[in-house]
Structure 1
Amino acid sequence: MNAPVSHASAGSPAEILRAALAGLLDGLPPKVAAQAVDRLIANYRGTTPTDAPILRDRADVAAYAAYRMPATFEAVRAALDAFADAVPEWVPGSHVDVGGGTGAATWAVNATWPEERPVTVLDWADPALALGRELASSNALLRSAEWRRSRIGAALTIGSSDLVTVSYVLGELTETARAEVVDAAAAAAQAVVIVEPGTPDGYARVIAARDRLIGAGFRVAAPCPHSAACPIVPGEDWCHFSARVSRSSLHRQVKGGSLAYEDEKFSYVAATRFPASPVSSRVVRRPQIRKGQVLLDLCSTGERIVRSTVTKRQGALYKEARDASWGDGWPPA
Protein backbone atom coordinates (compact mmCIF):
# COMPACT_ATOMS: atom_id res chain seq x y z
CA MET A 1 0.00 0.00 0.00
CA ASN A 2 1.36 3.37 -0.92
CA ALA A 3 2.05 5.76 1.95
CA PRO A 4 1.29 9.46 1.75
CA VAL A 5 4.17 11.27 0.12
CA SER A 6 6.12 14.12 1.73
CA HIS A 7 6.64 17.09 -0.58
CA ALA A 8 9.72 18.38 1.25
CA SER A 9 13.06 18.67 -0.54
CA ALA A 10 16.19 20.71 0.04
CA GLY A 11 15.43 24.36 -0.43
CA SER A 12 11.67 23.81 -0.74
CA PRO A 13 9.23 25.98 1.21
CA ALA A 14 8.78 23.09 3.66
CA GLU A 15 12.52 22.99 4.33
CA ILE A 16 12.77 26.78 4.58
CA LEU A 17 9.89 26.77 7.05
CA ARG A 18 11.46 23.96 9.08
CA ALA A 19 14.72 25.87 9.26
CA ALA A 20 12.88 29.02 10.33
CA LEU A 21 11.13 27.07 13.11
CA ALA A 22 14.40 25.71 14.51
CA GLY A 23 15.33 27.17 17.85
CA LEU A 24 11.86 28.46 18.75
CA LEU A 25 11.84 26.43 21.95
CA ASP A 26 15.33 27.47 23.05
CA GLY A 27 15.05 28.73 26.59
CA LEU A 28 11.45 27.56 26.99
CA PRO A 29 11.13 25.05 29.87
CA PRO A 30 9.99 21.66 28.52
CA LYS A 31 7.14 21.55 31.06
CA VAL A 32 5.78 24.88 29.82
CA ALA A 33 5.93 23.71 26.20
CA ALA A 34 4.23 20.41 27.09
CA GLN A 35 1.40 22.16 28.93
CA ALA A 36 0.82 24.52 26.02
CA VAL A 37 0.78 21.59 23.58
CA ASP A 38 -1.76 19.68 25.71
CA ARG A 39 -4.11 22.66 25.65
CA LEU A 40 -3.60 23.15 21.92
CA ILE A 41 -4.43 19.50 21.23
CA ALA A 42 -7.82 19.96 22.90
CA ASN A 43 -8.50 23.16 20.96
CA TYR A 44 -7.47 21.89 17.53
CA ARG A 45 -9.53 18.73 17.91
CA GLY A 46 -12.49 21.08 17.98
CA THR A 47 -13.58 20.21 21.52
CA THR A 48 -13.33 23.69 23.04
CA PRO A 49 -14.87 26.42 20.86
CA THR A 50 -14.00 29.83 22.24
CA ASP A 51 -14.56 33.52 21.68
CA ALA A 52 -11.03 34.42 22.79
CA PRO A 53 -7.64 33.93 21.10
CA ILE A 54 -6.19 30.44 21.54
CA LEU A 55 -2.59 31.66 21.34
CA ARG A 56 -2.03 33.93 24.34
CA ASP A 57 1.71 34.54 24.61
CA ARG A 58 5.13 33.75 23.13
CA ALA A 59 5.26 30.35 24.89
CA ASP A 60 1.92 29.34 23.38
CA VAL A 61 2.97 30.54 19.95
CA ALA A 62 6.31 28.72 20.06
CA ALA A 63 4.58 25.50 21.12
CA TYR A 64 1.94 25.97 18.42
CA ALA A 65 4.50 26.60 15.70
CA ALA A 66 6.53 23.54 16.65
CA TYR A 67 3.49 21.32 17.16
CA ARG A 68 1.17 22.41 14.37
CA MET A 69 2.80 24.41 11.60
CA PRO A 70 4.49 21.55 9.68
CA ALA A 71 1.31 19.45 9.74
CA THR A 72 -1.00 22.34 8.90
CA PHE A 73 1.30 23.38 6.06
CA GLU A 74 1.24 19.91 4.49
CA ALA A 75 -2.52 19.47 4.90
CA VAL A 76 -3.31 22.84 3.36
CA ARG A 77 -0.84 22.28 0.55
CA ALA A 78 -2.40 18.89 -0.24
CA ALA A 79 -5.81 20.60 -0.47
CA LEU A 80 -4.36 23.38 -2.63
CA ASP A 81 -2.65 20.84 -4.91
CA ALA A 82 -6.01 19.19 -5.60
CA PHE A 83 -7.59 22.60 -6.15
CA ALA A 84 -4.80 23.70 -8.50
CA ASP A 85 -5.32 20.54 -10.58
CA ALA A 86 -8.96 21.59 -11.07
CA VAL A 87 -8.02 25.15 -12.15
CA PRO A 88 -4.71 24.61 -14.00
CA GLU A 89 -4.72 27.98 -15.77
CA TRP A 90 -5.53 30.01 -12.66
CA VAL A 91 -3.03 31.67 -10.31
CA PRO A 92 -4.25 33.81 -7.41
CA GLY A 93 -3.21 37.43 -7.73
CA SER A 94 -3.92 38.09 -4.05
CA HIS A 95 -4.48 36.05 -0.90
CA VAL A 96 -6.15 36.61 2.47
CA ASP A 97 -5.50 34.05 5.21
CA VAL A 98 -8.31 34.21 7.79
CA GLY A 99 -7.26 33.18 11.28
CA GLY A 100 -3.85 32.50 9.80
CA GLY A 101 -1.97 32.64 13.10
CA THR A 102 1.70 32.06 12.36
CA GLY A 103 0.98 31.66 8.64
CA ALA A 104 1.07 27.96 7.73
CA ALA A 105 -1.58 28.39 5.02
CA THR A 106 0.27 31.43 3.68
CA TRP A 107 3.38 29.31 3.25
CA ALA A 108 1.28 26.57 1.59
CA VAL A 109 -0.20 29.01 -0.96
CA ASN A 110 3.31 30.24 -1.72
CA ALA A 111 4.49 26.66 -2.21
CA THR A 112 1.60 25.90 -4.60
CA TRP A 113 1.94 29.11 -6.64
CA PRO A 114 5.52 30.29 -5.96
CA GLU A 115 5.44 33.95 -6.78
CA GLU A 116 5.08 37.19 -4.84
CA ARG A 117 1.54 38.55 -4.41
CA PRO A 118 -0.33 40.80 -1.97
CA VAL A 119 -0.94 38.70 1.15
CA THR A 120 -2.88 39.64 4.27
CA VAL A 121 -2.91 37.40 7.34
CA LEU A 122 -5.78 38.10 9.75
CA ASP A 123 -5.68 36.87 13.33
CA TRP A 124 -6.72 38.12 16.74
CA ALA A 125 -3.58 36.92 18.57
CA ASP A 126 -0.81 39.52 18.46
CA PRO A 127 1.90 37.00 19.55
CA ALA A 128 0.97 34.71 16.64
CA LEU A 129 1.08 37.56 14.15
CA ALA A 130 4.45 38.70 15.47
CA LEU A 131 5.97 35.25 15.15
CA GLY A 132 4.36 34.72 11.74
CA ARG A 133 5.94 37.94 10.50
CA GLU A 134 9.29 36.82 11.93
CA LEU A 135 9.11 33.43 10.23
CA ALA A 136 8.00 34.96 6.91
CA SER A 137 11.09 37.16 6.84
CA SER A 138 13.05 34.03 5.90
CA ASN A 139 11.00 33.60 2.69
CA ALA A 140 11.73 36.27 0.09
CA LEU A 141 8.28 35.86 -1.48
CA LEU A 142 6.48 36.48 1.83
CA ARG A 143 8.46 39.41 3.23
CA SER A 144 5.90 41.95 2.02
CA ALA A 145 2.95 40.11 3.60
CA GLU A 146 0.74 42.17 5.92
CA TRP A 147 0.00 40.73 9.35
CA ARG A 148 -3.15 42.38 10.71
CA ARG A 149 -4.95 41.98 14.02
CA SER A 150 -8.63 41.22 13.47
CA ARG A 151 -11.38 39.59 15.47
CA ILE A 152 -12.33 36.35 13.72
CA GLY A 153 -16.08 35.86 13.87
CA ALA A 154 -18.90 38.36 14.05
CA ALA A 155 -18.43 41.48 11.91
CA LEU A 156 -15.29 40.07 10.25
CA THR A 157 -14.29 42.29 7.34
CA ILE A 158 -12.22 40.82 4.51
CA GLY A 159 -10.89 42.92 1.67
CA SER A 160 -11.54 41.75 -1.87
CA SER A 161 -9.13 38.96 -2.80
CA ASP A 162 -8.66 36.28 -5.43
CA LEU A 163 -8.14 33.59 -2.79
CA VAL A 164 -9.27 33.32 0.83
CA THR A 165 -8.06 30.45 3.00
CA VAL A 166 -9.61 29.44 6.33
CA SER A 167 -7.59 26.61 7.83
CA TYR A 168 -7.98 24.97 11.24
CA VAL A 169 -10.06 27.94 12.41
CA LEU A 170 -13.74 26.98 12.39
CA GLY A 171 -13.34 24.56 15.29
CA GLU A 172 -12.32 27.46 17.52
CA LEU A 173 -15.58 29.33 16.85
CA THR A 174 -19.21 29.11 17.83
CA GLU A 175 -21.61 27.83 15.18
CA THR A 176 -22.89 31.36 14.50
CA ALA A 177 -19.37 32.74 14.15
CA ARG A 178 -18.42 29.93 11.76
CA ALA A 179 -21.28 30.88 9.45
CA GLU A 180 -20.29 34.54 9.58
CA VAL A 181 -16.67 33.75 8.71
CA VAL A 182 -17.64 31.57 5.75
CA ASP A 183 -20.09 34.20 4.52
CA ALA A 184 -17.43 36.92 4.79
CA ALA A 185 -14.97 34.76 2.83
CA ALA A 186 -17.60 34.11 0.14
CA ALA A 187 -18.40 37.81 -0.17
CA ALA A 188 -14.71 38.75 -0.56
CA ALA A 189 -13.18 36.04 -2.73
CA GLN A 190 -13.17 34.43 -6.14
CA ALA A 191 -11.97 31.18 -4.56
CA VAL A 192 -12.27 29.88 -0.99
CA VAL A 193 -10.36 26.95 0.50
CA ILE A 194 -11.40 25.68 3.93
CA VAL A 195 -9.40 23.02 5.79
CA GLU A 196 -10.28 21.39 9.11
CA PRO A 197 -8.98 18.40 11.10
CA GLY A 198 -9.90 15.05 9.56
CA THR A 199 -12.29 14.09 12.34
CA PRO A 200 -16.06 13.55 12.15
CA ASP A 201 -16.57 16.98 13.73
CA GLY A 202 -14.07 18.61 11.37
CA TYR A 203 -15.80 17.03 8.39
CA ALA A 204 -19.18 18.26 9.65
CA ARG A 205 -17.83 21.81 9.82
CA VAL A 206 -16.45 21.51 6.29
CA ILE A 207 -19.77 20.21 4.95
CA ALA A 208 -21.65 23.07 6.61
CA ALA A 209 -19.19 25.54 5.04
CA ARG A 210 -19.50 23.77 1.67
CA ASP A 211 -23.28 24.19 1.79
CA ARG A 212 -22.96 27.90 2.56
CA LEU A 213 -20.46 28.44 -0.27
CA ILE A 214 -22.73 26.67 -2.76
CA GLY A 215 -25.64 28.75 -1.50
CA ALA A 216 -23.55 31.85 -2.17
CA GLY A 217 -23.07 30.87 -5.82
CA PHE A 218 -19.79 28.96 -5.63
CA ARG A 219 -19.09 25.65 -7.34
CA VAL A 220 -16.97 22.93 -5.74
CA ALA A 221 -13.59 22.33 -7.39
CA ALA A 222 -12.17 19.79 -4.91
CA PRO A 223 -12.24 17.27 -3.42
CA CYS A 224 -15.76 16.51 -4.64
CA PRO A 225 -16.38 15.70 -8.32
CA HIS A 226 -19.69 17.60 -8.08
CA SER A 227 -21.48 20.37 -6.18
CA ALA A 228 -24.45 18.21 -5.22
CA ALA A 229 -25.09 16.79 -1.75
CA CYS A 230 -22.31 14.72 -0.19
CA PRO A 231 -23.25 11.02 -0.56
CA ILE A 232 -21.72 10.09 2.80
CA VAL A 233 -24.36 9.40 5.44
CA PRO A 234 -23.69 11.51 8.55
CA GLY A 235 -22.77 9.36 11.52
CA GLU A 236 -21.73 6.40 9.34
CA ASP A 237 -18.53 7.77 7.81
CA TRP A 238 -16.78 11.03 7.05
CA CYS A 239 -14.71 12.37 4.16
CA HIS A 240 -11.08 13.02 5.05
CA PHE A 241 -7.61 12.61 3.60
CA SER A 242 -4.02 12.24 4.74
CA ALA A 243 -0.80 14.18 4.23
CA ARG A 244 2.61 12.87 5.29
CA VAL A 245 4.64 15.24 7.43
CA SER A 246 8.39 14.98 7.86
CA ARG A 247 9.21 15.63 11.50
CA SER A 248 12.33 17.47 12.59
CA SER A 249 14.05 16.74 15.90
CA LEU A 250 12.31 19.86 17.24
CA HIS A 251 8.93 18.49 16.15
CA ARG A 252 9.63 15.10 17.74
CA GLN A 253 10.71 16.79 20.97
CA VAL A 254 7.45 18.70 21.30
CA LYS A 255 5.16 15.84 20.24
CA GLY A 256 7.00 13.16 22.20
CA GLY A 257 7.32 10.81 19.20
CA SER A 258 10.22 8.88 17.73
CA LEU A 259 9.23 8.38 14.08
CA ALA A 260 10.68 10.62 11.37
CA TYR A 261 7.19 11.27 10.00
CA GLU A 262 3.51 11.40 10.86
CA ASP A 263 0.30 11.39 8.83
CA GLU A 264 -1.95 14.42 9.23
CA LYS A 265 -5.64 13.69 8.65
CA PHE A 266 -7.69 16.58 7.28
CA SER A 267 -11.00 17.46 5.62
CA TYR A 268 -11.38 20.28 3.14
CA VAL A 269 -13.40 22.01 0.46
CA ALA A 270 -12.16 24.27 -2.34
CA ALA A 271 -14.80 26.28 -4.19
CA THR A 272 -14.77 28.97 -6.87
CA ARG A 273 -16.91 31.57 -8.59
CA PHE A 274 -15.20 30.80 -11.91
CA PRO A 275 -15.15 27.63 -14.04
CA ALA A 276 -13.27 24.65 -12.68
CA SER A 277 -12.70 21.09 -13.88
CA PRO A 278 -13.14 18.71 -10.93
CA VAL A 279 -11.97 15.14 -11.21
CA SER A 280 -14.54 12.63 -12.44
CA SER A 281 -14.06 10.67 -9.21
CA ARG A 282 -11.73 10.74 -6.20
CA VAL A 283 -10.18 7.99 -4.10
CA VAL A 284 -11.70 8.50 -0.65
CA ARG A 285 -10.04 5.65 1.26
CA ARG A 286 -6.67 3.97 1.15
CA PRO A 287 -6.54 1.67 -1.91
CA GLN A 288 -6.62 -2.01 -0.99
CA ILE A 289 -4.00 -3.97 -2.92
CA ARG A 290 -4.87 -7.64 -3.22
CA LYS A 291 -3.32 -10.40 -5.29
CA GLY A 292 -3.91 -9.42 -8.89
CA GLN A 293 -6.35 -6.61 -8.10
CA VAL A 294 -6.73 -3.20 -6.48
CA LEU A 295 -9.92 -2.07 -4.75
CA LEU A 296 -10.65 1.66 -5.01
CA ASP A 297 -13.41 3.40 -3.07
CA LEU A 298 -14.44 6.39 -5.17
CA CYS A 299 -16.65 9.42 -4.74
CA SER A 300 -18.13 9.81 -8.20
CA THR A 301 -20.09 12.26 -10.31
CA GLY A 302 -23.07 10.01 -9.76
CA GLU A 303 -23.24 11.50 -6.25
CA ARG A 304 -22.41 8.20 -4.63
CA ILE A 305 -19.52 6.22 -3.20
CA VAL A 306 -18.66 3.24 -5.39
CA ARG A 307 -16.05 0.51 -5.19
CA SER A 308 -14.06 -0.09 -8.36
CA THR A 309 -12.01 -3.25 -8.81
CA VAL A 310 -9.03 -2.89 -11.14
CA THR A 311 -7.48 -6.22 -12.11
CA LYS A 312 -4.13 -7.20 -13.51
CA ARG A 313 -5.83 -7.98 -16.83
CA GLN A 314 -6.32 -4.23 -17.29
CA GLY A 315 -2.61 -3.72 -17.81
CA ALA A 316 -1.59 -0.06 -17.64
CA LEU A 317 -4.67 0.91 -15.62
CA TYR A 318 -3.80 -1.78 -13.07
CA LYS A 319 -0.33 -0.32 -12.70
CA GLU A 320 -1.85 3.13 -12.20
CA ALA A 321 -4.21 1.72 -9.58
CA ARG A 322 -1.31 0.17 -7.66
CA ASP A 323 0.35 3.59 -7.64
CA ALA A 324 -2.84 5.45 -6.67
CA SER A 325 -3.00 7.14 -3.29
CA TRP A 326 -5.80 8.13 -0.96
CA GLY A 327 -7.05 11.52 -2.19
CA ASP A 328 -6.01 11.10 -5.84
CA GLY A 329 -8.34 11.79 -8.72
CA TRP A 330 -9.42 8.76 -10.74
CA PRO A 331 -8.97 7.70 -13.47
CA PRO A 332 -5.47 9.12 -13.94
CA ALA A 333 -5.15 11.96 -16.44
Structure 2
Amino acid sequence: PGWAPAGHIDVGGGTGAATWAVAATWPGDRAVTVLDWSDPALALGREIAAAHPALGDARWQRARIGADLALPATDLVTVSYVLNEITPADRTALVDTAAASARAVVIVEAGTPAGYARVIEARDRLIAAGFRVAAPCPHSAACPIAPGEDWCHFSARVSRSSLHRQVKGGSLPYEDEKFSYVAATRLPVTPVPTRVIRRPQIRKGQVLLDLCEPDERLSRRTVTKRHGDLYKAARDASWGDGWPPADH
Protein backbone atom coordinates (compact mmCIF):
# COMPACT_ATOMS: atom_id res chain seq x y z
CA PRO A 1 0.00 0.00 0.00
CA GLY A 2 1.26 3.45 -0.96
CA TRP A 3 4.13 2.08 -3.05
CA ALA A 4 4.68 3.37 -6.57
CA PRO A 5 7.58 2.44 -8.84
CA ALA A 6 10.13 5.19 -9.37
CA GLY A 7 11.44 3.39 -12.44
CA HIS A 8 9.93 1.04 -15.02
CA ILE A 9 11.58 -1.09 -17.71
CA ASP A 10 9.26 -2.71 -20.25
CA VAL A 11 11.14 -5.64 -21.79
CA GLY A 12 10.01 -6.53 -25.29
CA GLY A 13 7.51 -3.73 -24.95
CA GLY A 14 6.99 -3.00 -28.65
CA THR A 15 4.75 0.04 -28.82
CA GLY A 16 4.75 0.35 -25.02
CA ALA A 17 1.26 -0.80 -24.04
CA ALA A 18 2.49 -1.85 -20.59
CA THR A 19 3.86 1.64 -19.95
CA TRP A 20 0.38 3.06 -20.43
CA ALA A 21 -1.04 0.49 -17.98
CA VAL A 22 1.63 1.35 -15.39
CA ALA A 23 0.98 5.08 -15.82
CA ALA A 24 -2.75 4.50 -15.31
CA THR A 25 -2.10 2.42 -12.17
CA TRP A 26 0.48 4.76 -10.62
CA PRO A 27 0.04 8.35 -11.82
CA GLY A 28 3.05 10.62 -11.74
CA ASP A 29 6.46 10.83 -13.35
CA ARG A 30 9.02 8.01 -13.35
CA ALA A 31 11.99 6.88 -15.40
CA VAL A 32 10.59 4.68 -18.20
CA THR A 33 12.54 2.57 -20.70
CA VAL A 34 11.01 0.40 -23.42
CA LEU A 35 13.26 -2.30 -24.89
CA ASP A 36 12.47 -4.09 -28.14
CA TRP A 37 14.26 -5.40 -31.22
CA SER A 38 11.75 -3.90 -33.68
CA ASP A 39 12.59 -0.35 -34.74
CA PRO A 40 9.16 0.25 -36.35
CA ALA A 41 7.37 -0.76 -33.13
CA LEU A 42 9.61 1.50 -31.04
CA ALA A 43 9.08 4.40 -33.45
CA LEU A 44 5.31 4.01 -33.32
CA GLY A 45 5.36 3.69 -29.54
CA ARG A 46 7.43 6.84 -29.22
CA GLU A 47 5.02 8.72 -31.49
CA ILE A 48 1.94 7.59 -29.57
CA ALA A 49 3.53 8.22 -26.15
CA ALA A 50 4.34 11.83 -27.04
CA ALA A 51 0.70 12.63 -26.23
CA HIS A 52 0.97 11.20 -22.68
CA PRO A 53 2.37 13.63 -20.07
CA ALA A 54 3.99 10.83 -18.05
CA LEU A 55 5.61 9.15 -21.06
CA GLY A 56 7.00 12.09 -22.97
CA ASP A 57 10.52 11.47 -21.62
CA ALA A 58 10.46 7.69 -21.97
CA ARG A 59 13.48 6.04 -23.59
CA TRP A 60 12.79 3.79 -26.58
CA GLN A 61 15.80 1.55 -27.01
CA ARG A 62 16.54 -1.22 -29.48
CA ALA A 63 17.77 -4.35 -27.72
CA ARG A 64 17.90 -8.06 -28.41
CA ILE A 65 15.71 -9.81 -25.85
CA GLY A 66 17.53 -12.91 -24.67
CA ALA A 67 20.24 -14.34 -22.50
CA ASP A 68 22.64 -11.48 -23.18
CA LEU A 69 20.23 -8.75 -22.09
CA ALA A 70 21.51 -6.63 -19.21
CA LEU A 71 19.14 -4.54 -17.11
CA PRO A 72 20.00 -1.76 -14.66
CA ALA A 73 18.48 -1.71 -11.20
CA THR A 74 14.88 -0.48 -11.26
CA ASP A 75 11.66 -0.76 -9.29
CA LEU A 76 9.47 -2.50 -11.87
CA VAL A 77 10.11 -4.77 -14.85
CA THR A 78 7.24 -5.85 -17.11
CA VAL A 79 7.51 -8.69 -19.63
CA SER A 80 4.32 -8.92 -21.69
CA TYR A 81 3.73 -11.53 -24.41
CA VAL A 82 7.49 -12.01 -24.80
CA LEU A 83 8.38 -15.41 -23.31
CA ASN A 84 6.44 -17.07 -26.13
CA GLU A 85 8.82 -15.54 -28.68
CA ILE A 86 12.18 -16.65 -27.27
CA THR A 87 13.92 -19.96 -26.61
CA PRO A 88 13.57 -21.82 -23.28
CA ALA A 89 17.16 -20.93 -22.37
CA ASP A 90 16.53 -17.25 -23.12
CA ARG A 91 13.28 -17.36 -21.11
CA THR A 92 15.13 -18.66 -18.07
CA ALA A 93 17.88 -16.06 -18.42
CA LEU A 94 15.41 -13.21 -18.93
CA VAL A 95 13.35 -14.06 -15.83
CA ASP A 96 16.52 -14.39 -13.75
CA THR A 97 17.81 -11.05 -15.06
CA ALA A 98 14.51 -9.35 -14.25
CA ALA A 99 14.55 -10.84 -10.74
CA ALA A 100 18.09 -9.62 -10.15
CA SER A 101 17.29 -6.09 -11.36
CA ALA A 102 13.84 -5.21 -10.03
CA ARG A 103 11.86 -4.93 -6.82
CA ALA A 104 8.71 -6.06 -8.65
CA VAL A 105 8.20 -8.12 -11.80
CA VAL A 106 5.00 -8.57 -13.82
CA ILE A 107 4.88 -11.26 -16.50
CA VAL A 108 1.92 -11.67 -18.89
CA GLU A 109 1.37 -14.37 -21.49
CA ALA A 110 -1.52 -15.54 -23.63
CA GLY A 111 -4.25 -17.33 -21.66
CA THR A 112 -3.56 -20.72 -23.21
CA PRO A 113 -2.24 -23.90 -21.58
CA ALA A 114 1.17 -23.17 -23.07
CA GLY A 115 1.07 -19.53 -21.93
CA TYR A 116 0.09 -20.60 -18.43
CA ALA A 117 2.97 -23.12 -18.36
CA ARG A 118 5.43 -20.34 -19.22
CA VAL A 119 3.99 -18.13 -16.48
CA ILE A 120 4.21 -20.94 -13.90
CA GLU A 121 7.82 -21.60 -14.87
CA ALA A 122 8.61 -17.89 -14.41
CA ARG A 123 6.62 -17.79 -11.14
CA ASP A 124 8.69 -20.65 -9.74
CA ARG A 125 11.94 -18.90 -10.65
CA LEU A 126 10.84 -15.63 -9.09
CA ILE A 127 9.85 -17.36 -5.85
CA ALA A 128 13.18 -19.19 -5.80
CA ALA A 129 14.87 -15.79 -6.16
CA GLY A 130 13.15 -14.52 -3.01
CA PHE A 131 10.05 -12.88 -4.48
CA ARG A 132 6.54 -13.14 -3.03
CA VAL A 133 3.51 -13.47 -5.28
CA ALA A 134 1.25 -10.42 -5.16
CA ALA A 135 -1.29 -11.64 -7.76
CA PRO A 136 -3.21 -13.50 -8.95
CA CYS A 137 -2.41 -16.22 -6.41
CA PRO A 138 -3.44 -15.79 -2.75
CA HIS A 139 -0.18 -17.53 -1.73
CA SER A 140 3.39 -18.13 -2.88
CA ALA A 141 3.24 -21.92 -2.60
CA ALA A 142 2.92 -24.34 -5.52
CA CYS A 143 -0.02 -23.83 -7.88
CA PRO A 144 -2.76 -26.33 -6.93
CA ILE A 145 -3.81 -26.89 -10.55
CA ALA A 146 -2.71 -30.34 -11.74
CA PRO A 147 -0.47 -29.98 -14.82
CA GLY A 148 -2.27 -30.97 -17.99
CA GLU A 149 -5.74 -30.96 -16.41
CA ASP A 150 -6.49 -27.24 -16.42
CA TRP A 151 -4.78 -23.86 -16.55
CA CYS A 152 -5.15 -20.55 -14.73
CA HIS A 153 -6.14 -17.65 -16.95
CA PHE A 154 -8.36 -14.59 -16.99
CA SER A 155 -10.20 -12.48 -19.54
CA ALA A 156 -10.38 -8.78 -20.40
CA ARG A 157 -12.90 -7.31 -22.82
CA VAL A 158 -11.21 -5.12 -25.43
CA SER A 159 -13.07 -2.71 -27.70
CA ARG A 160 -12.54 -3.13 -31.43
CA SER A 161 -12.33 -0.24 -33.84
CA SER A 162 -13.77 -0.66 -37.32
CA LEU A 163 -10.22 -1.12 -38.64
CA HIS A 164 -9.55 -3.73 -35.97
CA ARG A 165 -12.67 -5.64 -37.03
CA GLN A 166 -11.60 -5.53 -40.68
CA VAL A 167 -8.07 -6.72 -39.95
CA LYS A 168 -9.21 -9.61 -37.74
CA GLY A 169 -12.29 -10.48 -39.78
CA GLY A 170 -14.57 -9.95 -36.78
CA SER A 171 -18.10 -8.58 -36.62
CA LEU A 172 -18.45 -7.81 -32.90
CA PRO A 173 -17.40 -4.40 -31.51
CA TYR A 174 -15.28 -6.16 -28.86
CA GLU A 175 -13.22 -9.26 -28.18
CA ASP A 176 -12.38 -11.10 -24.99
CA GLU A 177 -8.61 -11.30 -24.61
CA LYS A 178 -7.58 -14.25 -22.43
CA PHE A 179 -4.30 -14.00 -20.55
CA SER A 180 -2.23 -15.59 -17.78
CA TYR A 181 -0.01 -13.55 -15.52
CA VAL A 182 2.02 -13.31 -12.35
CA ALA A 183 2.96 -10.21 -10.35
CA ALA A 184 5.70 -10.78 -7.79
CA THR A 185 7.72 -8.50 -5.54
CA ARG A 186 10.47 -8.31 -2.93
CA LEU A 187 8.34 -5.80 -1.02
CA PRO A 188 5.97 -6.77 1.82
CA VAL A 189 2.70 -7.82 0.25
CA THR A 190 -0.72 -9.05 1.41
CA PRO A 191 -2.44 -10.98 -1.39
CA VAL A 192 -6.21 -11.21 -1.68
CA PRO A 193 -7.85 -13.78 0.66
CA THR A 194 -9.00 -15.89 -2.32
CA ARG A 195 -9.17 -15.35 -6.09
CA VAL A 196 -12.12 -15.99 -8.42
CA ILE A 197 -10.53 -18.15 -11.12
CA ARG A 198 -13.54 -18.81 -13.37
CA ARG A 199 -16.44 -16.76 -14.61
CA PRO A 200 -19.04 -16.81 -11.77
CA GLN A 201 -22.09 -18.94 -12.53
CA ILE A 202 -25.26 -17.03 -11.69
CA ARG A 203 -28.27 -19.23 -11.12
CA LYS A 204 -31.66 -18.70 -9.58
CA GLY A 205 -31.06 -17.59 -6.02
CA GLN A 206 -27.40 -18.54 -5.96
CA VAL A 207 -23.96 -17.81 -7.37
CA LEU A 208 -21.25 -20.44 -7.81
CA LEU A 209 -17.70 -19.18 -7.35
CA ASP A 210 -14.62 -21.19 -8.30
CA LEU A 211 -11.82 -20.01 -6.02
CA CYS A 212 -8.11 -20.41 -5.43
CA GLU A 213 -7.65 -20.55 -1.66
CA PRO A 214 -4.73 -19.39 0.52
CA ASP A 215 -4.25 -22.95 1.84
CA GLU A 216 -3.07 -24.06 -1.64
CA ARG A 217 -6.30 -25.66 -2.81
CA LEU A 218 -9.12 -25.01 -5.26
CA SER A 219 -12.72 -24.84 -4.09
CA ARG A 220 -16.23 -24.07 -5.28
CA ARG A 221 -18.28 -21.85 -3.02
CA THR A 222 -22.05 -21.40 -3.28
CA VAL A 223 -23.39 -18.01 -2.19
CA THR A 224 -27.17 -17.80 -1.80
CA LYS A 225 -29.72 -15.15 -0.95
CA ARG A 226 -29.45 -16.25 2.67
CA HIS A 227 -26.00 -14.66 2.70
CA GLY A 228 -27.56 -11.18 2.32
CA ASP A 229 -25.11 -8.51 1.16
CA LEU A 230 -22.52 -11.14 0.33
CA TYR A 231 -24.96 -12.59 -2.22
CA LYS A 232 -25.27 -9.18 -3.85
CA ALA A 233 -21.49 -8.92 -3.94
CA ALA A 234 -21.25 -12.39 -5.51
CA ARG A 235 -23.66 -11.38 -8.28
CA ASP A 236 -21.39 -8.42 -9.03
CA ALA A 237 -18.17 -10.43 -8.82
CA SER A 238 -16.09 -10.88 -11.95
CA TRP A 239 -13.63 -13.47 -13.14
CA GLY A 240 -10.28 -12.50 -11.63
CA ASP A 241 -11.62 -10.57 -8.64
CA GLY A 242 -10.43 -11.11 -5.10
CA TRP A 243 -12.97 -12.65 -2.75
CA PRO A 244 -14.61 -11.63 -0.52
CA PRO A 245 -14.78 -7.91 -1.33
CA ALA A 246 -12.72 -5.69 0.95
CA ASP A 247 -15.83 -4.27 2.63
CA HIS A 248 -17.20 -7.69 3.67
Structure 1 and Structure 2 fold alike (TM over 0.5) = yes
**Aligned equivalent of 2:3, options 90, 107, 119:** 90
Quick one: distance in 2 between partners of 1:317 and 1:134? 47
SS at match of 2:239: coil
Residue of structure 1 aligned with 2:138, choices 210, 214, 225: 225
Which residue does 1:164 correspond to in 2?
77
Per-residue CA deviations over 1:102-121 (Å, capped at 9, x if unaligned) read 11111111111122211000
Please state if 1:259 is matched with 2:172. yes
**Structure 2 partner of 1:124:** 37
Secondary structure, in 3 states, of the residue corresponding to 2:181?
strand
TM-score for the superposition, normalised by structure 2: 0.98
2:211 is the counterpart of 1:298? yes
Q: SS state of the match for residue 217, structure 1?
A: coil
Q: Aligned to 2:195, which of 282, 294, 311? A: 282
* Matching residue of 2:128: 215
1:230-241 alignment to 2 at 5 Å?
Answer: 230-241=143-154
Listed as ranges, the matches of 1:1-333 within 5 Å are 88-333=1-246
SS of equivalent residue, structure 2 residue 235 = helix
Moved more, 293-302 or 245-254: 245-254
> Between the two proteins, what is the percent identity of the paired residues?
76
- Residues 170-212 of structure 1: per-residue CA shift (max 9 Å, x gap): 0001100000110110010000000000000000000000000
Deviation string for 1:136-186 (max 9, x for gaps)? 112121110000111100111111110000000000011000001101100
Number of residue equivalences: 246
The farther-off stretch of 244-253 and 300-309 is: 244-253
Q: What is the distance in 2 between the residues matched to 1:159 and 1:136?
A: 22
Q: Structure 2: where are the runs of 5+ without partners? A: none
SS at 2:232's partner residue? Answer: helix
Per-residue deviation, 1:250? 2.1
Cα distance in 1 for partners of 2:167, 2:98 equals: 33
Shift of 1:297: 0.4
CA offsets 1:22-80 (integer angstroms, 9 cap, x no match): xxxxxxxxxxxxxxxxxxxxxxxxxxxxxxxxxxxxxxxxxxxxxxxxxxxxxxxxxxx
Q: Distance in 2 between matches of 1:113 and 1:190?
A: 15
Distance 1:186 1:250 in 2: 39
Secondary structure, counterpart of 2:70 in structure 1: coil
Q: How far off its partner does 1:305 sit? A: 0.5
d(CA) in 2 for partners of 1:124 and 1:145?
A: 16
Q: Residues of 2 paired with 1:314 and 1:268: CA distance?
A: 32
Q: Measure, in 2, the Cα distance between the counterparts of 1:137 and 1:314.
A: 50
Q: Distance in 1 between matches of 2:201 and 2:232?
A: 13
How many angstroms apart in 1 are the aligned matches of 2:9 and 2:72?
8
**Which structure carries more strand by proportion?**
2
The amino acid that maps onto 1:209 is A
Deviates more, 1:226-235 or 1:247-256: 247-256
Q: What amino acid does structure 1 have at the position aligned with 2:63?
A: S
CA RMSD of the aligned region, Å? 0.8
Kindly provide the amino acid, as one letter, of the partner of residue 160 in structure 1.
A
SS at match of 1:129: helix
